[in-house]
């Protein structure tokens, strides 16, 4: 069995010691006192571990079933979803106008991690609902907001996003689903969508599908796409449930992981849909949902990496294999727990240093997003949007690797299903694919986000880092082991950036060839910045005479490990990026 305890001490440290949440001049942050966050996070962790975690394994084994045209979720899911709903855990950061609690995204992201650690399949039903809520909130008219938002906030109704079709995933311009106008506000939606997460289930009385479709006669390609609200059951004017809409479930996809989340083929046979946002601006409208979902996907990976780490850590202390080198320089006479072996240690340190640094980065990004949206700080918002593909792409790539590392620590016991490590690997794999593959995240970063506002966002990041490095007074040890490596890594980042800017315009392939490497470079660099901040904070506390417990002591060592073992990868990545596309693109397809 896997092991999980919500890392509450860690969340407390990040919120209050590192980011000084309650002191931030952002609307709603003064409420985030240590007492409040400790209480609410403890309650949330209790719900997640007592209600969601116990049905995680059985949900994976049982999966979803399609019976008489409707999806049945695994045993216990209906009750668990009900409990989450009743506890008010579905609308934490939603607008109080529609029944939400108005808490910052920074806090709700932490719940996203805890809930995903305990049961990712169940969490996805809620996460997509939140995405639908955010899209209708941002783009809906008042009737749409009043009709759908209160029910989505409570998850009495859930939401989905429908982009993918059999012949088109990444290239949305090829969408074939049609939306024919039948009145001023109603359209008839016809077409097939595949791979729709939470596409049908028995957890809620209605499902609000957000569907991309083309209105005949519109522009070709992406510019001709519009977004529609297509409820499973139509909603009467008085808010009561109307007749079943003309859509059906073709099948549930059989897949590698997240078995308890129903991934459906949906057939729209002239279903009634309502235009959401402007006609032909559907992709931009849907981006509200995708951007939010992308942050959430990074957090999902982190959440599973955390469970893999906790589980493999315990196992490494219990599993006895092989003699170890003792302090006296001699090998022990009897076999020792595998945590004594340097190779296992390396695996654990890789997990720990990635997870803790990546968690700081996701929270920082959420904080920037809160600042951007709640305090209209354009620079913070811009930086959060630059970091979104990094969180999605880098954290899900490495988060997946870290579940595999956890599996490796279990040896053969990690490969068989009994210990649950295999499920973590299977469940984690999808994060690299959905919400736009990680390759597409890299293109988004290099092709759009780096250049938006004339490169203002990456310049702002650079400014924040250099100002921090210049203004902080630290010990020689911290200067040498943290500040100097980060300065060197910044040079790698700048060098790679220069190559992309110098070459990308005249030859886009030169930049695209290195896009994934650049996404990783930026991810590694940003996590390095987080470690610099974390360790500087601990050393500040030390200087002030505060008690440095084992948790804080471990931060310094873990940070040193990251700076010495992971951060130098930026040099290698910069070299790769600067090799461009020449060799990469020189074989003809038939030479492969």
Give the residue numbers marked as catalytic.
435
Q: Give kind and range of the element (H or E) at residue 157.
A: strand 157-162
Establish if 440 lies at the interface with ligand FAD (CB under 6 A): yes
Establish if 439 lies at the interface with ligand FAD (CB under 6 A): yes
Residue 363 or 443 with smaller CB distance to ligand FAD: 443
Distances (CA, A) of 241 to 147, 232, 236, 360, 488: 11, 10, 6, 44, 61
Q: Let me know if 180 is exposed, middle or buried by CB neighbors in 10 A (0-12, 13-18, 19+).
A: middle
Kindly state the smallest distance separating residue 255's Cβ from ligand FAD, in Å: 5
Kindly state the smallest distance separating residue 578's Cβ from ligand FAD, in Å: 20
Contact (CB, 8 A) for 545 and 496: no
Residue 161 or 304 with smaller CB distance to ligand FAD: 161
Beta strands per DSSP E along 216-278: 225-231, 233-235, 241-244, 247-252, 263-276
Among 101, 123, 197, 206, binds ligand FAD (CB under 6 A): 197
Residue 288 or 351 with smaller CB distance to ligand FAD: 288
Q: Single out the residue of 558, 7, 13, 58 nearest to residue 310, CA to CA.
A: 7
Contact (CB, 8 A) for 233 and 245: yes
Among 42, 79, 170, 251, binds ligand FAD (CB under 6 A): 170
Contact (CB, 8 A) for 527 and 361: yes
Kindly state the smallest distance separating residue 27's Cβ from ligand FAD, in Å: 32
Number of H helices, E strands in the chain: 20, 11
Establish if 542 lies at the interface with ligand FAD (CB under 6 A): no
Residue 164 or 566 with smaller CB distance to ligand FAD: 164
Among 101, 106, 164, 566, binds ligand FAD (CB under 6 A): 164
Contact (CB, 8 A) for 577 and 496: yes
Residue 165 or 356 with smaller CB distance to ligand FAD: 165
Among 437, 472, 488, 509, binds ligand FAD (CB under 6 A): 437
Q: Give kind and range of the element (H or E) at residue 196.
A: strand 186-197
Kindly state the smallest distance separating residue 93's Cβ from ligand FAD, in Å: 21
Piece of the chain touching ligand FAD by CB under 6 A; list 390-398, 427-435, 520-528, 541-549? 427-435
- Residues numbered 298 to 357 that lie near ligand FAD (CB under 6 A) are none
Q: Single out the residue of 451, 209, 427, 450 nearest to residue 304, CA to CA.
A: 427
Residue 387 or 443 with smaller CB distance to ligand FAD: 443
Structure token pair of residue 556: 């310094």
Tell me, residue by residue from 357 to 396, as one string, x for binding to ligand FAD by CB under 6 A and - for no binding: ----------------------------------------
Piece of the chain touching ligand FAD by CB under 6 A; list 77-85, 191-199, 367-375, 454-462? 191-199
Establish if 196 lies at the interface with ligand FAD (CB under 6 A): yes
Structure token pair of residue 160: 């989905």
Among 135, 162, 441, 570, binds ligand FAD (CB under 6 A): 162
Establish if 436 lies at the interface with ligand FAD (CB under 6 A): yes
Contact (CB, 8 A) for 267 and 248: yes
Sign of CA dihedral 365, 366, 371, 376: positive
Q: Which residue sits closest to ligand FAD, CB atoms considered?
A: 169
Q: Let me know if 439 is exposed, middle or buried by CB neighbors in 10 A (0-12, 13-18, 19+).
A: middle
Establish if 434 lies at the interface with ligand FAD (CB under 6 A): yes
The Cβ of residue 270 has, within 10 Å, a number of other Cβ atoms equal to 15
Residue 161 or 402 with smaller CB distance to ligand FAD: 161
Kindly state the smallest distance separating residue 136's Cβ from ligand FAD, in Å: 16
57-61: long-range contacts, CB 8 A cutoff, minimum separation 24:
57/1, 57/420, 57/423, 59/119, 59/121, 59/122, 59/259, 59/260, 60/121, 60/257, 60/259, 60/260, 60/423, 60/426, 60/427, 61/259
Piece of the chain touching ligand FAD by CB under 6 A; list 272-280, 428-436, 469-477, 574-582? 428-436
Among 57, 178, 255, 323, binds ligand FAD (CB under 6 A): 255
- Residues numbered 141 to 160 that lie near ligand FAD (CB under 6 A) are 160
- Size of the chain in residues: 592
Tell me, residue by residue from 259 to 288, as one string, x for binding to ligand FAD by CB under 6 A and - for no binding: ----x-------------------------
Establish if 161 lies at the interface with ligand FAD (CB under 6 A): yes
Kindly state the smallest distance separating residue 268's Cβ from ligand FAD, in Å: 13
Is residue 447 helix, strand or coil? helix
> What single-letter DSSP state applies at residue 49?
I
Tokens 């394994």 map to which residue?
57
Kindly state the smallest distance separating residue 170's Cβ from ligand FAD, in Å: 3
Kindly state the smallest distance separating residue 171's Cβ from ligand FAD, in Å: 6
Residue 274 or 434 with smaller CB distance to ligand FAD: 434
Rounded Cα distance between 18 and 533, Å, is: 7
Among 133, 187, 195, 460, binds ligand FAD (CB under 6 A): 195
Among 102, 169, 181, 568, binds ligand FAD (CB under 6 A): 169
Piece of the chain touching ligand FAD by CB under 6 A; list 176-184, 233-241, 436-444, 496-504? 436-444
Rounded Cα distance between 71 and 197, Å, is: 12
Number of residues that bind ligand FAD (CB under 6 A): 20
Residue 302 or 430 with smaller CB distance to ligand FAD: 430
Q: Single out the residue of 212, 187, 231, 189 nearest to residue 280, CA to CA.
A: 212
Establish if 163 lies at the interface with ligand FAD (CB under 6 A): yes
Q: Single out the residue of 79, 54, 43, 74 nearest to residue 2, CA to CA.
A: 54
Residue 40 or 132 with smaller CB distance to ligand FAD: 132
Residues forming the site for ligand FAD (CB under 6 A): 160-164, 169-170, 195-197, 255, 263, 430, 433-434, 436-437, 439-440, 443
């Amino acid at each position: 069995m896997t092991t999980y305890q919500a890392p509450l001490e860690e969340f407390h440290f990040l919120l209050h010691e590192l980011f000084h949440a309650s002191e931030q001049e952002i609307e709603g942050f003064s409420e985030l006192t240590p007492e409040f966050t400790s209480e609410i996070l403890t309650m949330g962790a209790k719900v997640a571990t007592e209600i969601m975690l116990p049905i995680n394994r059985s949900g994976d084994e049982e999966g979803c079933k399609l019976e008489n045209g409707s999806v049945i979720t695994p045993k216990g899911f209906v009750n668990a979803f009900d409990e989450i709903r009743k506890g008010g855990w579905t609308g934490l950061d939603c607008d109080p106008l529609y029944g939400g609690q108005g808490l910052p995204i920074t806090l709700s992201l932490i719940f996203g991690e805890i809930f995903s650690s305990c049961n990712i399949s169940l969490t996805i039903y809620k996460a997509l609902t939140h995405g639908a809520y955010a899209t209708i909130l941002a783009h809906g008219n008042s009737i749409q907001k009043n009709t759908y938002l209160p029910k989505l906030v409570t998850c009495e109704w859930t939401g989905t996003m429908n982009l993918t079709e059999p012949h088109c995933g990444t290239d949305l311009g090829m969408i074939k689903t049609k939306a024919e106008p039948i009145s001023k506000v109603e359209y008839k939606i016809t077409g097939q969508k595949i791979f729709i997460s939470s596409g049908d289930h028995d957890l809620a009385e209605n499902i609000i599908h957000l569907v991309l479709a083309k209105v005949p006669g519109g522009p070709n390609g992406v510019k001709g796409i519009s977004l529609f609200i297509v409820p499973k059951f139509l909603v009467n004017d008085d808010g009561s449930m109307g007749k079943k809409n003309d859509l059906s479930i073709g099948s549930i996809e059989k897949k590698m992981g997240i078995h308890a989340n129903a991934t459906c083929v949906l057939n729209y046979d002239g279903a009634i849909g309502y235009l959401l946002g402007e006609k032909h601006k559907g992709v931009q409208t849907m981006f509200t949902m995708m951007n939010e979902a992308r942050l959430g996907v990074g957090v999902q990976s982190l959440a599973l990496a955390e469970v893999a780490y906790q589980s493999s850590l315990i196992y490494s202390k219990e599993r006895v294999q092989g003699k170890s080198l003792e302090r006296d320089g001699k090998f022990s006479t009897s076999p020792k727990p595998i945590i004594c072996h340097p190779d296992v240690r390396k695996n654990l340190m890789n997990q720990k240093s990635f997870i803790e640094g990546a968690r700081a980065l996701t929270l920082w990004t959420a904080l920037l997003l809160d600042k951007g949206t709640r305090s209209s700080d354009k620079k913070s918002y811009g930086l959060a949007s630059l970091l979104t593909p990094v969180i999605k792409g880098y954290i899900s790539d490495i988060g997946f690797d870290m579940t595999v590392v956890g599996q490796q620590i279990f040896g053969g016991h990690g490969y068989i299903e009994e210990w649950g490590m295999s499920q973590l690997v299977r469940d984690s794999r999808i994060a690299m694919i959905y919400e736009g593959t990680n390759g597409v995240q890299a293109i988004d970063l290099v092709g759009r986000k780096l250049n938006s506002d004339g490169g203002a966002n990456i310049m702002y990041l650079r400014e924040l880092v250099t100002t921090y490095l210049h203004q902080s007074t630290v010990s020689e040890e911290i200067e040498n082991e943290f500040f100097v490596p980060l300065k060197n890594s910044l040079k790698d980042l700048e060098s790679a950036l220069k190559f992309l800017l110098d070459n990308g315009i005249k030859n886009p392939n030169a930049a695209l060839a290195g896009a994934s490497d650049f996404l990783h470079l930026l991810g590694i660099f940003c996590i390095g910045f987080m470690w610099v901040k974390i360790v500087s904070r601990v050393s500040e506390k030390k200087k002030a005479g505060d008690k440095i417990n084992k948790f804080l002591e471990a931060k310094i060592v873990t940070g040193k490990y990251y700076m010495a073992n992971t951060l130098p990868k930026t040099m290698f990545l910069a070299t790769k990026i600067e090799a461009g596309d020449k060799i990469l693109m020189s074989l003809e397809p038939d030479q492969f």
